[in-house]
Amino acid sequence: MVHYSNDPYLEEELEDNFIEWYEIEGIRKIKELSRQLRTVFNCKSEVIKYRYRSTLTPTVNHASTTFLSQKQKFEALTHEFIELLKKINDTNQTLEQGIRNLFFLDYTTRLIKLSKISEQLFILIHYFSEESLHRHPKFLRFIMILAQDICLVKKGLYTQSSEFFEELGTNYNNLEKELTLLIPNQISFHKVMKEKKLEERLTS
């Protein structure tokens, strides 16, 4: 059995190390949340730019080589993310319940992987949000839909920041709805069903 003496210098050193770690972790978390806010504001700005774009300007593909390579990486990570969510949400439960069950069932590897991919996707979303996405409206809309799912995951993984990610997800949802109304030929499912019912009444 190892004996630990009540050494005040040792206790002070341990306390200093803990405080230093806590400060570093706190700064890292603040930076992450700050980046999340900048990203959603960037997306809002791109929606505004798309709304007030000039219809006289011809459509040009402005995507750079870096943009396209990052998009390929983004698509691969998105596929991996979706496959993970399918495994979590394969029963009659919500995504949040599925993530909580991972904690209870001690699926550490899956939790770490989900956390890592979510973080990588959010970093890429931030990159894209600064790359004139109003020129790629359908891709911008897809990003907003995906961001809502990542917010749900983050909400489940980090309970201390759950309210922040819930609010962030709501903002992405509102932006997605706004952009959906602006994109030409982007008819919502509810509108299609409404028109179908109207047509059935007229022809019956």
CB 176 within 8 A of CB 141: yes
Cβ neighbours of residue 162 under 8 Å, at least 6 residues apart? 155, 156
pLDDT given for residue 44 in this prediction = 95
pLDDT given for residue 15 in this prediction = 53
> What residue type is 135 in one-letter code?
R
Alpha carbon 49 to its chain centroid, in Å, reads 22
Q: Which residues of 95-132 are buried (b: 16+ CB within 10 A; e: fewer)?
A: eeebbeebeeeebeeebeebeebbeebbebbbbbbebe
Q: What angle do CA 77, 126, 78 make, to 5 degrees?
A: 15
Per-residue pLDDT of the chain (204 residues; tens, 9 = 90+): 444 445 554 455 545 554 554 555 567 677 888 889 999 999 999 999 999 987 655 455 566 888 999 999 999 999 999 998 888 876 677 777 788 777 777 678 888 899 999 999 999 999 999 999 999 999 999 999 999 999 999 998 888 888 999 999 999 999 999 999 999 865 554 454 545 454 444 444
Q: What angle do CA 38, 40, 43 make, to 5 degrees?
A: 110
Q: In whole angstroms, what is the distance from residue 132 CA to residue 66 CA?
A: 14
pLDDT given for residue 124 in this prediction = 96
pLDDT given for residue 23 in this prediction = 55
Q: CA torsion 171→177→180→181, rounded to 10°?
A: -130
pLDDT given for residue 25 in this prediction = 59
pLDDT given for residue 20 in this prediction = 55
